[in-house]
């Protein structure tokens, strides 16, 4: 796997300033691969039904991950991604989240952060 040092550094810098980062782009450009190369992260693929079920209660889910760095891949697949990420940003700022998606469906609501 090719390391993308420039983008890894940008993500690390972004997470020092904010608790939630949004990575968007067309399919197959490498968002998932980039996020999987981040050190010390918990990775959740929101395309998987079991993962979406775990995230139905954002508060409980985030309490279990307090203080960690979390990748939420394809976050737009959640029933209400903007609500989930707003709860994370407002109530769990010590938990760092990198959210990815190829859809702009949820992205417009996320830009409010």
103: CATH: 3.40.50.300
pTM value is 0.82
What tens digit of pLDDT does each residue of 78-88 get? 999 999 999 99
- Count: domains in the chain: 1
Domain assignment of residue 41, yes or no:
yes
Q: Is the dihedral of CA 12, 13, 15, 21 positive or negative?
A: negative
Alpha-carbon distance of 20 to 88, in angstroms, equals 8
pLDDT digits (tens, 9 = 90+) for 60-78: 999 999 999 999 999 999 9
Mean residue pLDDT across the chain: 87
In a domain, 74, yes or no: yes
From its phi and psi, is residue 40 left (phi > 0), alpha (psi between -120 and 50) or beta? left
Over the stretch 6-21, which tens digit does the pLDDT of each residue have? Answer: 988 999 999 999 999 9
Domain that includes residue 39, residue range: 19-110
Kindly indicate the confidence band of residue 91, based on its pLDDT and cuts at 50, 70 and 90: very high
């Amino acid at each position: 796997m090719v390391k993308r040092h420039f983008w890894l550094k940008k993500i690390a810098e972004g997470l020092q300033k904010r608790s939630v980062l949004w990575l968007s782009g067309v399919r197959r450009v490498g968002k998932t691969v980039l996020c999987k190369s981040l050190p010390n992260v918990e990775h959740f693929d929101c395309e998987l039904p079991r993962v979406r079920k775990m995230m139905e209660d954002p508060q409980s889910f985030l309490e279990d991950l307090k203080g960690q760095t979390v990748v939420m891949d394809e976050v737009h697949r959640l029933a209400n991604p903007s609500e989930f990420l707003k709860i994370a940003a407002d109530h769990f700022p010590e938990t760092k989240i990198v959210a990815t998606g190829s859809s702009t469906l949820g992205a417009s609501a996320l830009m409010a952060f």
